Structure 1
Amino acid sequence: MRASSTVSHQELDLLRQYEFLSILLIVLRLVPDTHTEMEQLWRLKVFEEVPRSEVPEGEPIIPTHFVTKKKLNQFGLVKQYKARCVANGKRQIPGVSFDEHASSTPSLDSVRASLAIANHFDMDIDLVDIVGAYTHAPLDRVIYCDWPLGFDKGGPTVMKVNKALYGFVQSGRKYQDDRNIKLEGAGYKQNPMDTSVFYRRHEKVLTILVPYVDNFLVISTKGTAKKIKEELAQLFEIKDEGEAKFYLGMMITRNRPQKQLTISMPAYIKGIVQRADLSWAKTASTPMSHTQPMSRANRRRRH
């Protein structure tokens, strides 16, 4: 039997105080990040400041706000907090603020197949982040936004947005179109089985790109990763994450000399166990019994 887990009122008060202080520390830590975010948007010419009086009559002014982006490492621990300026896309009007908005991402089968190819042919496997991915893509129409809280919200000026801002309904599609044009211009082709995967054969070098929004899995002929990433830096502003260890929540473990590569999700599984309150339960090496013989009928069903 499990021990009783009753908590006193005093312990609950301490827990609430701890949660409040934790949130307060995160907020205080993010205040400088909000300025960094707005400076980056200004540097990338995502918006320009215009008088509120210049907004055409009847044109909606979309509100914006900051959200906290929490980046985890392969162990499920917080790697970085980041403040991001996001538009309230629910206030956009179809046909006025946007038209097409669908975008795609690579399937998990494509990710696994790409990693299997890389392992079999002893290729380099690296990872790069596209800095401010959406905000590099131009919009096909002008959208006006109010400033986020802390930046003269409701004041005499507004943002005239010229590039895709996070939160816009069409931002994913615009970024995808802009990304595809740049990659195709560099000689990459879309995989006909999964158009979110790109490949290129150039000067005896094979490169496979698996971009999931702003995370690019870069697979290339052994010894060419650095050159490929330098080429990508000419197309996008990138952050080089080095050899791929963690991608889409999956831990990538590789023994290159023995040509072994495994993917796992220990942090995700640990989270499930904790939420289900099963950390005290007995473990098993396999989800089914390995001692019970399998009948002929069951064997046929398995195959």
Structure 2
Amino acid sequence: MPYTPEQNGCCEQEHRTIVEASRTLMHAHGDLPKGLWAEIINTAAYIINRTGVSGIEGKSPYELWVGRKPSIKNLRIIGCTCYAHIPKQFRGKMSKKAVKGILIGYDENDGYRIWSLDKLKLIRSRDVIFDEEPLKQVEHLNSDKPEEPDESCVDFRRFLEKKDETNEHLDPNKNENPDTPSITEDEGGPSNENVSDDGGNVEDEIPDRVLRDRETLRPPERYGFDALVMSAETDVLNLEEPKNYREAINSENKVNWEKAMQSEIDSLHENKTWTLANLPDGKKAISTKWVYKVKMNPDGTIDKFKARLVVQGFSQRLGIDYEQTFSPVAKASTVRTLLSVAASKNMKLMQFDVSTAFLYGYLEEEIYIKQPEGFDDGSNKVCKLNRSLYGLKQAPRCWNQRFAAFLLKIGFKQSNADTCLFLKKTESTHIMIALYVDDGLVASIREEDLEIFIRDLKKEFKITTKPASYYLGFESHQQEGRITLNQKAYLKKLLERFGMENCRPSPTPMIQTGEEKDIEDPAKKEKFPYRQAVGGLMYLMVGTRPDIAYAVGVASRTLENPTWNNWVQVKRIFRYLKGTSQLGLLYKSGNNSLVCYSDADHGGDHSTGRSTTGVVAMFSNAAISWLSQRQTSVSISTTEAEIVAASEGAKEVIWLKRLLLDMENLDCRPTLHVDNEAAIKLSKNPEFHRRTKHIHIRHFFVREQVTSGELVIEQVDTENQLADC
């Protein structure tokens, strides 16, 4: 019968056994956070399955299921303090080597599940040192003597007798000499949250061995518990960002986070973001959460503590709570082109940040949210939104429409090439604005026009302004008639993140040696943070470093199943960046021609036989746009590969021409440089029919542009081909 669990007495009894065991584990060795109850229940089931059960003669559930006795040599005291090893890929030379935590369970891949006390999140690790204090003897309620342990627990109790014994490093995958405990520093993992190795069950791989008298086993001093604690406490200032409200109010920076939350609430009330109301029938209130961020300056110092109230928009329903969600942002090419034009005209630069920008957007739908955690007045009412709020699916779109409407009202026009570029041009006024969500970059010929615009902007929105020196992670420095752009601060953090800050520089980002076989050394089979590294490099490449575009593009092809050889190639890119950290882009006046270079390496990708397209566009003596991408089909000749690349270059340069026409009325004929004579002839006339009849018609876009006079195509020597792949 439904809703009558009493009918299944065996199941209910088993549930009770697990719950009572879980409750004991939660409180036996210090009170564990109640939010970990699910982990503790899993741990209780893990232990019960490996322990003798009354009614089953001397056999544990595990033995009955798999047919062999389990090993309990990996068991430790749940709730004890422990230190999980941090792989060298995630720490610098002088950083701490371990993270402090509490043991809460056992991982299915021969490791331990640990609650990090520093980061307040779950991590998994195989290499752990435990600080187990012996459990105090607890008198039995009905006896003068402690209850005698059964035989199945004897081995487990032996593990709890001596602190020296529990401070050993346990490696479940190796049959170590017990006289020489080791702390392996080279075992890695794909991320800070998962540093375990793949493997089978713990019971399958732990060999049985006779335990010697632990009184005589003393690990070397360098492996001792105190040494590890000293390493773990090297970080004096803890700037971990809380994951939720509870972590924020219990963190070392509680006062700073409370001020940040109060500032956010004040902004919400100031903008009349919501009105308290009773929840109407048929409506559902959406939950909210706090998001915390420590804003840093380019030099690594703290800018401010920022708290943001966001709606959990994943619960919104299409057609009821939202309709359209798309919201554009300024393209990186647009930002660089704006800076190149500013350099050529010696324009004044300023950047602004709109505080709580999404609160200015107007909602078309009727939406209710729950009162924010920590600021609930206890009235059981909900908040009816009058404005958009962070986390709503339509919030970015609402804000973008509001900002665009304001600029159009005060005389600006929206670019057709990039809808996040706004322009105002008269005989005496020339202002350009690029908007990336709530961060804006402004360029103006006259400083008084810039001041007038900022004054109008402050009347409509709450903003902060400063000279354009650090925009979207790009560091810019302006002098008379020239602007430099780089990402040195970001590169420094990137090198430190992957432990490459002290690496030996390399003269090139990669070595092209053809198809390479992976290294078969078993020692190189450890996991490495390949995806994270390539992702970090990609932002650098997209921003200011076209010189690593090809190398990063090649590295991104193996994200699914990278090999050790691929990881070595990525580290070579880091080594190249270490030696060229001062490089960037230099825009200067004197050359207002738009030129583009296109090239292709025929069959350069040995795994697919496809070629790689390389394109770079120049204005004001520096690159404003570039790409390096594998072509979508196999080219059977160099001519075909080059014509495909030329078509990509033509598309990019035609768009840039429209962008420059909007920015400064520059109606020029861009030049496309190609180093393949046959491709140039084919782009002008339909020659070589027998050898080119299979080429898709879309690749002859370049011929149409040349015929119509939109661009000029010229030959360039290979030595001067800037887009050489």
The residue aligned with 1:230 is 455
Are the equivalent residues in 2 in contact too, given 1:252–1:262 (CA < 8 A)?
Answer: yes
The structure 1 residue matched to 2:504, chosen from 259, 277, 282, is 282
Residues 114-143 of structure 1: CA deviation (Å, up to 9, x unaligned): 011111101110011112111011111221
**How far off is 1:206 after superposition?**
0.3
Distance, in Å, in 2 between the alignment partners of 1:182 and 1:197 is 14
TM-score when normalising by structure 1:
0.86
CA distance in structure 2 between the partners assigned to 1:123 and 1:56 by the alignment: 55
- How many angstroms apart in 1 are the aligned matches of 2:455 and 2:506? 46
Q: Which residue of 2 aligns with 1:252?
A: 476
Q: Is the 8 A contact 1:146 1:153 kept in 2?
A: no
- Paired with 1:153 and 1:10, the residues of 2 have a C-alpha distance of 44
Residue 35 of structure 1: which of 249, 262, 282 is its match?
A: 262
Looking at structure 2, the residues matched to 202 and 49 of structure 1 have their Cα atoms a distance apart, in angstroms, of 47
Amino acid at match of 1:30: W
Contact between 1:33 and 1:82, CA under 8 Å: does it hold in 2? yes
Structure 2 counterpart of 1:67, one-letter code: V
Contact 1:75 1:266 (C-alpha < 8 Å) held by counterparts: no
Deviations 1:242-265 (A, max 9, x none): x11110001011122xx2211111
Find the aligned partners of 1:203 and 1:233 in 2 and give their Cα distance: 25
SS across alignment from 2:420: strand
3-state SS in 2 of match to 1:140: coil
Identity of aligned pairs, percent? 25
Q: Are 2:432 and 1:10 aligned?
A: no
Deviation at 1:285, TM superposition (A): 6.7
Taking the aligned partners of 1:219 and 1:277, their CA distance within structure 2 comes to 38
The amino acid that maps onto 2:296 is L
Residue type matched to 2:351 in 1?
L
Change (3 A) 1:288 1:95: closer
Q: CA deviation at 1:78?
A: 2.7
1:25 counterpart SS class: coil
Change in CA separation of 1:39 and 1:235 when aligned onto 2, cut-off 3 Å: closer
Residue 164 of structure 1: aligned partner: 388
Superposed CA offset, 1:167-225 (max 9, x none): 10000011111111111111111111111100011451100011111111111113232
Letter in 2 for 1:260: R
Q: Which residue of 1 aligns with 2:678?
A: none
Partner residue, 2:289: 65
1:270 is the counterpart of 2:492: yes
CA contact (8 A) 1:71 1:79 kept: yes
- Per-residue CA deviations over 1:38-93 (Å, capped at 9, x if unaligned) read 1211111111112xxx3122311111121113323233433111111111111111
| SS of corresponding position for 1:117 | helix
After superposition, where does 1:201-212 map in structure 2 within 5 Å?
Answer: 201-202=425-426, 204-212=428-436
CA distance in structure 2 between the partners assigned to 1:299 and 1:135 by the alignment: 51
Match of 2:358 among 131, 134, 137: 134
CA contact (8 A) 1:67 1:83 kept: yes
Q: In the alignment, which residue of structure 2 is the partner of 1:240?
A: 465
Stretches of structure 2 that go unaligned for 5 or more consecutive residues are: 1-92, 98-184, 186-222, 243-250, 512-716
Structure 1 residues 109 and 17: alpha-carbon distance in aligned structure 2, compared to 1, 3 A threshold:
closer
Question: What is the TM-score normalised by the length of structure 2?
Answer: 0.37
Asked whether 1:125 is paired with 2:349, we answer: yes
Question: Which residue is equivalent to 1:89?
Answer: 313
In structure 2, what residue type is equivalent to 1:188? F
Q: Secondary structure at the match of 1:139?
A: coil
- From the two aligned structures, give the one with the greater strand fraction: 1
Counterpart in 2 of 1:292?
Answer: none
Residues 137-156 of structure 1: pairs in structure 2 closer than 5 A: 137-152=361-376, 155-156=379-380
**1:44 maps to which residue?**
271
Q: 1:153 to 1:66 in 2, by over 3 A?
A: farther
The separation in 1 between residues aligned to 2:318 and 2:378, in whole angstroms, is 24
Cα RMSD between the aligned structures? 2.8
Question: 2:724 maps to what in 1?
Answer: 302
- Secondary structure of residue in 1 paired with 2:363: strand
> Higher mean Cα deviation, 148-157 or 57-66?
148-157
Is the 8 Å Cα contact of residues 279 and 381 (structure 2) preserved in structure 1? no
**In structure 2, how many angstroms separate the alpha carbons of the residues matched to 1:133 and 1:60?**
25
1:114 corresponds in structure 2 to 338
Q: What is the SS of the residue equivalent to 2:446?
A: coil
TM-aligned CA deviation for residue 235 of structure 1: 3.0
Equivalent residue for 2:252, pick from 25, 36, 41: 25
Relative distance call for 1:285 and 1:264 in structure 2 (3 A) is farther
Larger radius of gyration: 2
Q: CA deviation at 1:239?
A: 1.5
Structure 2 distance, partners of 1:166, 1:22, is 18
- Paired with 1:12 and 1:128, the residues of 2 have a C-alpha distance of 42
Give the Cα–Cα distance (whole angstroms) in 2 for the partners of residues 16 and 154 of structure 1.
Answer: 40
Distance 1:153 1:104, change over 3 A: farther
Q: Which runs of 5+ in 1 are unaligned?
A: 290-295
The 8 Å contact of residues 44 and 135 in structure 1, kept in 2 or not, is answered as yes
Q: Using the alignment, how far apart are the partners of 1:163 and 1:56 within structure 2?
A: 19
Q: 1: CA distance between counterparts of 2:487 and 2:283?
A: 47
1:132-172: CA deviation from partner (whole Å, max 9, x where unpaired): 11101111122111112111287511111110101100000
Contact 1:145 1:159 in 2 (8 A): yes
Decide whether aligned partners of structure 1 residues 191 and 160 sit closer, same or farther in structure 2, where only a CA change above 3 A counts.
Answer: same
Instruction: From the superposition, tell whether residues 22 and 231 of structure 1 become closer, same or farther in structure 2 (CA, over 3 Å).
Output: closer
